[in-house]
């Protein structure tokens, strides 16, 4: 699922699962493909404290906001692709998740940064609500669905796209989508990307 921006603040509209058409759409107004930085959320942008859904429990990874701002300035698209099985498990709601993403958006704006889109996979094989119950949803990493959706939704140059995640499932999703994957094992995200010779000047 992709959360689309509703008004200036907050990612509030989430289309339900539908057909999986991944045809690239590049309009006349956007003829040039752009590089893209795909980011997992928990463990990459924020500390993974286990099903984080409230702002009071949220802590940025060191250097995360600065890294996003650097890629924004360089003209890269920055896209979050996050498994959110806490929704499917009933630990919190989609509305809770969207509120957290809205607060992240506010905080990023204050740092001169922004995320172009949040894609999320709320599914789980044992979800109590049928809408979220799926044995192996195409969007849930290690499946590549969220990345493929973004490649269809945005003018992305897949050869200049990279996903940063903290789990093997992130890297597998990237590989299956045909983009580069890097494993982040904690620390300073900005320094990590600089060490990989990826951080824009």
Q: Is 96 a catalytic residue?
A: no
Residue 31: the pLDDT is 60
Percentage with pLDDT > 90 across the chain:
83
Number of domains the chain contains: 1
Specify if 160 maps to a domain: no
Residue 29: the pLDDT is 47
Calculate the CA 83 to chain-centre distance: 9
Specify if 100 maps to a domain: yes
Asked whether the CA dihedral 168, 124, 37, 178 is positive or negative, the reply is positive
Contact (CB, 8 A) for 93 and 99: no
Specify if 135 maps to a domain: yes
Specify if 112 maps to a domain: yes
Q: Is 57 a catalytic residue?
A: no
Domain that holds residue 94: 1-7+39-139+176-201
Mean pLDDT computed over every residue of the chain:
89
Q: Strand order in 156-165's β-sheet? A: 11-13, 2-5, 117-121, 77-83, 34-39, 156-165, 180-183
Residue range 36-64, pLDDT digits in tens: 999 999 999 999 999 999 999 999 999 99
Residue 106 has pLDDT above 90, yes or no: yes
pLDDT band at 117 (very low <50, low <70, confident <90, very high): very high
> Residue 120 belongs to a domain with what CATH number?
3.40.50.1000
CA triple 99-85-129, angle to 5 deg: 95
Select which of 42, 139, 166, 170 is catalytic.
Answer: 42
Specify if 106 maps to a domain: yes
Specify if 81 maps to a domain: yes
Residue range 8-29, pLDDT digits in tens: 333 333 333 333 333 334 444 4
Contact (CB, 8 A) for 184 and 43: yes
Specify if 15 maps to a domain: no
Residue range 58-105, pLDDT digits in tens: 999 999 999 999 999 999 999 999 999 999 999 999 999 999 999 999
Select which of 6, 40, 107, 157 is catalytic.
Answer: 40
Output the pTM of the full model.
0.86
Percentage with pLDDT > 70 across the chain:
85
Contact (CB, 8 A) for 58 and 50: no
Mean pLDDT of 165-181: 98
Residue 41: the pLDDT is 98
- Concatenated DSSP letters for the chain? -EEEE-SSS-EEE-PPP----------TT--S-EEEEEE-SBTTTB---SS--SGGG--BPTTHHHHHHHHHHTT-EEEEEEE-HHHHTTSS-HHHHHHHHHHHHHHHHHTT---SEEEEE--BTT-SSGGGB-SS-TTSTTS-HHHHHHHHHS-EEEEEEEEEESSHHHHHHHHHHTSEEEE--SS-HHHHHHHTT-S--
Contact (CB, 8 A) for 186 and 166: yes
Specify if 78 maps to a domain: yes
- Lowest mean pLDDT of 1-5, 76-80, 82-86, 175-179, name the range: 1-5
């Amino acid at each position: 699922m992709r959360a689309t921006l509703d008004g200036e603040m907050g990612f509030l509209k989430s289309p339900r699962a539908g057909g999986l058409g991944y045809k690239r759409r590049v309009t006349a107004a956007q003829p040039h493909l752009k590089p893209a930085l795909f980011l997992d959320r928990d463990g990459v942008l924020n500390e993974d404290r286990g099903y984080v859904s409230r702002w009071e429990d949220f802590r940025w990874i060191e250097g995360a906001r600065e890294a996003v701002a650097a890629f924004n300035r360089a003209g890269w698209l920055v896209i979050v692709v996050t498994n959110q099985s806490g929704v499917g498990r009933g630990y919190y709601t989609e509305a809770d998740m969207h509120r957290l993403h809205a607060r992240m958006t506010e905080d990023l704006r204050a740092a001169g940064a922004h995320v172009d889109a949040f894609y999320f996979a709320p599914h789980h094989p044992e979800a109590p609500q049928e809408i979220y119950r799926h044995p192996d949803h195409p969007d849930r990493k290690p499946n590549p669905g969220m990345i493929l959706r973004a490649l269809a939704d945005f003018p992305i140059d897949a050869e200049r796209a990279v996903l940063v995640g903290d789990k093997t499932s992130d890297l597998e999703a990237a590989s299956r989508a045909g983009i580069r994957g890097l494993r982040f094992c904690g620390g300073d995200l900005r320094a990590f990307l600089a060490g990989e010779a990826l951080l824009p000047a």
